[in-house]
Copies of this chain bind each other. A is one copy, B any other.
Amino acid sequence: MFELLLTDPKSKARRGRLTTSHGIIETPVFMPVGTQASVKALDNRELLEMDTQIILGNTYHLSIRPGMEIIEAAGGLHSFMNWKSPILTDSGGFQVFSLAKIRKIKNNGVEFRSHLDGSLLFLGPQESMAIQRKLGSDIAMAFDECPAHDSSPRELQAAIDRTIRWAKECRVQPRAEGQLVFGISQGGINPRLRERCTKEIVSLDFDGYAIGGVSVGEPEPEMMFAVDITEPFLPKNKVRYAMGLGTPSQMVELIARGVDMFDCVLPTRIARNGTAYTRKGTVNIKAGYAKSDFHPIEEGCTCFACRNHTRAYIRHLLNVNEILGLKLMSIHNSHFYLQLMKEIRTHLENGTFSDFRKEFVANYVPSERVRAMSKNVTLPPITAIKSTHKGKIAKAKKTKAPSTVKTSKATKNIKGKQVKKQIGPKPTNISEPLKHSNNES
């Protein structure tokens, strides 16, 4: 399914081709995130115009709303959202650990309370794979446990044990026709654990491999290190996916380290807060200087926003809370990511990737604010580890709801309530706060 076309002579960067049920994906590739069956503020035409090859959907969110009954009745996720190109679905593991209220980790999955209404749910490898089979995604992800980056060695070890056990279960579950399944490596920045976990996962012979446990609040050097200690144990003939990453310069560096696939909410999330990517870093389009800046967000950019509108106009739209402002910003930032991947593929083909990498990373100076944002996803600590397994159904048996529901840090931003601590410009009533939110992850 994956064809390695060439490897860069001066780095580990790879140019490849992944064949899926809904089409061929040229790698390296960036996958816009459509958590709730919509890439925020963009329609399918806009996505295709900016060279989107594949989008993400999310098991956890979609199984809650609209629910699998409706997506099945629609004929799967492609049909439900009328997206004819490939879709990768996340397993829901990350969301269960980052968004769910109070949860109990059990042998065969996690019992947790919905971040929306507190109802008791159960998600494990069998349930996740069954949902992804019904979603009919081209690529399903194994259900893993994603420990926080500051987990204790004992917690990390336990998480890896479960991740491996669950991967084995995922591997043997029935799939949708032609569906690929990717295994996920965990292990934080512990080389021994990463090696063990990666080798075990690879031994299961998945269609591709993801490096998990990154984009969970760790500093950038730790994230790079996690990839560095994982990559050597990944087979060359399978595609590699760094989950939840990253900034433009991070992606360039990760490609140089042998990663092929990326997904990240940053482009659309920071867009809605007025921050735009340029080749020289990020700029704040809501700032005062932009009031009468009659240039496009970036000179030479071929996106719909830059071809048609000025910073001054977009700044005005953001300032008066017009939805169009959010869309134009989201188009620009998503286009920036996709265009970057396209360029990198060309440089790999031309043998000029290393020069490009040096130049790009030297020129690209992200603001402190965006640096902070890209690290601002924190997983709550594991609260309870139990080894009893009550049932295999996704909806757990109705038990007495606890009178006080503990709310993890990551769930404070529910139902549009804005978190108090706010990074960056004052939020509008349309935009979401920058903090890792329940809607897009």
Report which A residues bind B (CB closer than 8 A).
36-38, 40-45, 61, 65-66, 69-70, 73-74, 80-82, 291-292, 294, 304, 308-310, 312-313, 315-317, 319-328, 416, 428-430, 439
On whether the beta carbons of B323 and A70 are closer than 8 Å, the reply is no
- A and B contact pairs by CB, cutoff 8 A, 26 listed: A36-B322, A37-B317, A38-B325, A40-B322, A40-B324, A41-B323, A41-B324, A42-B324, A43-B304, A44-B308, A65-B319, A66-B312, A70-B292, A70-B312, A70-B316, A73-B312, A74-B292, A74-B294, A74-B312, A74-B313, A80-B312, A81-B313, A321-B416, A323-B326, A323-B327, A323-B430
A267 to chain B, nearest CB (A): 15
Instruction: Collect the chain B residues with CB atoms within 8 Å of residue A327's CB.
Output: 43, 323, 327
State the 8 A-B residue pairs at the shortest beta-carbon distance, nearest first: A416-B429, A66-B316, A41-B323, A38-B322, A38-B324, A36-B320, A82-B308, A73-B292
A286 to chain B, nearest CB (A): 12
Q: Tell me the interface secondary structure of chain A in the complex.
A: helix
On whether the beta carbons of B439 and A313 are closer than 8 Å, the reply is no
User: For residue A40, which residue of chain B has the nearest CB?
Assistant: B323
A36 to chain B, nearest CB (A): 5
A324 to chain B, nearest CB (A): 5
A216 to chain B, nearest CB (A): 24
On whether the beta carbons of A294 and B430 are closer than 8 Å, the reply is no
Instruction: Collect the chain B residues with CB atoms within 8 Å of residue A324's CB.
Output: 38, 40-43
Additional pairs, 17, CB under 8 Å, beyond known A41-B323, A74-B312, A416-B429: A36-B316, A40-B324, A41-B324, A42-B324, A43-B328, A61-B320, A65-B316, A65-B320, A69-B292, A70-B292, A73-B312, A74-B313, A80-B312, A82-B309, A321-B439, A323-B323, A429-B429
User: For residue A75, which residue of chain B has the nearest CB?
Assistant: B294
A57 to chain B, nearest CB (A): 12
> What number of copies of this chain does the assembly contain?
2
A126 to chain B, nearest CB (A): 26
Q: How far is the CA of A65 from the CA of B38 in the complex (A)?
A: 31
Q: How far is the CA of A189 from the CA of B324 in the complex (A)?
A: 39
Instruction: Collect the chain B residues with CB atoms within 8 Å of residue A65's CB.
Output: 316, 319-320
Instruction: Collect the chain B residues with CB atoms within 8 Å of residue A291's CB.
Output: 66, 70
Instruction: Collect the chain B residues with CB atoms within 8 Å of residue A316's CB.
Output: 36-37, 65-66, 70, 80
Q: How far is the CA of A47 from the CA of B284 in the complex (A)?
A: 28
A392 to chain B, nearest CB (A): 26
On whether the beta carbons of B310 and A74 are closer than 8 Å, the reply is yes
A203 to chain B, nearest CB (A): 39
Q: How far is the CA of A398 from the CA of B236 in the complex (A)?
A: 73
Q: How far is the CA of A324 from the CA of B292 in the complex (A)?
A: 29
Considering residues A42, A322, A327, which has the most beta carbons from chain B within 10 angstroms of its beta carbon? A322
User: For residue A316, which residue of chain B has the nearest CB?
Assistant: B66
Instruction: Collect the chain B residues with CB atoms within 8 Å of residue A80's CB.
Output: 310, 312-313, 316
Instruction: Collect the chain B residues with CB atoms within 8 Å of residue A325's CB.
Output: 38
A406 to chain B, nearest CB (A): 25
Considering residues A37, A66, A294, which has the most beta carbons from chain B within 10 angstroms of its beta carbon? A66
Considering residues A40, A310, A324, A429, which has the most beta carbons from chain B within 10 angstroms of its beta carbon? A324
On whether the beta carbons of A416 and B428 are closer than 8 Å, the reply is yes
Considering residues A308, A309, A320, A328, which has the most beta carbons from chain B within 10 angstroms of its beta carbon? A320
User: For residue A331, which residue of chain B has the nearest CB?
Assistant: B43
Q: How far is the CA of A309 from the CA of B429 in the complex (A)?
A: 27
User: For residue A81, which residue of chain B has the nearest CB?
Assistant: B313
On whether the beta carbons of A313 and B416 are closer than 8 Å, the reply is no
Instruction: Collect the chain B residues with CB atoms within 8 Å of residue A319's CB.
Output: 65-66
Instruction: Collect the chain B residues with CB atoms within 8 Å of residue A430's CB.
Output: 323, 429-430
Q: How far is the CA of A323 from the CA of B40 in the complex (A)?
A: 7
Q: How far is the CA of A61 from the CA of B321 in the complex (A)?
A: 13
A315 to chain B, nearest CB (A): 8
A47 to chain B, nearest CB (A): 11
